[in-house]
Chain A
Amino acid sequence: MAKTDSLQGSLDLLVLKLLSRRPRLHGYAIMAAIATTSGEVLRAEEGSLYPALYRMEEAGWIRAEWVKKDTGRRARVYELTAAGKKQLDAEESRWQSVSGAINRVLQVLSEA
């Protein structure tokens, strides 16, 4: 059962971006949203999603809150903090420049 983490290094960016658009999501909803918005191409594993959430919570980028659901079960929902917003901008521009650079390299090499 070799699971390749297709999101290596970019999970933080996706979670932050998602939370900036749709605040107060719980863990499952985040996972589901990544899957649907990426057209089922990207998949966040539970084993990496929660550690990433906790890490970002400790870093102060997101904050969590328990909410009572209709089913009587409690769910922990996450939202972006001001520091998270800044981090998102930084990660996003970094991603843009890196992916642009990679595209350029690919282009140059395919033309050659």
Chain B
Amino acid sequence: MAKMSLEDLRKLREATQQQIKKRDTEGKTVQVIVGMGTCGIAAGAKDTLDAFVKALDEKGMGGDVIIRQTGCMGLCQNEPTVEIVMKDMPNIIYGRVDAKIAKEIVEKHIIKRELLNDQILDRPAGDILKK
């Protein structure tokens, strides 16, 4: 590393902060949960996950959102499925989320707090999943 000036130090801190904040779990209000069962992965969930990471980093929100993987959500015909959990918004499951829609979810749902009506799925068989 070359010798830094005050400016360089500040720039470096800003550039690296987002990545390191991902290691914290406290104080995060948004969760993106990607279904990564065999069905999800076969339908391209890995690309979806990458797209979320990229889109969030581009918006500078990489440190504020937890991206989690989970198993099959039971909606295999609509994979890849993604659930968004955030404060003051209903928990929404989106189906058939490819890289393009992932980007849209970040821009609309997470930032503008608008639902993507065409992609919403209900929880699977809510009536039989009694707690």
A-B complex is real: no
- By a beta-carbon cutoff of 8 Å, the part of chain A in contact with chain B is none
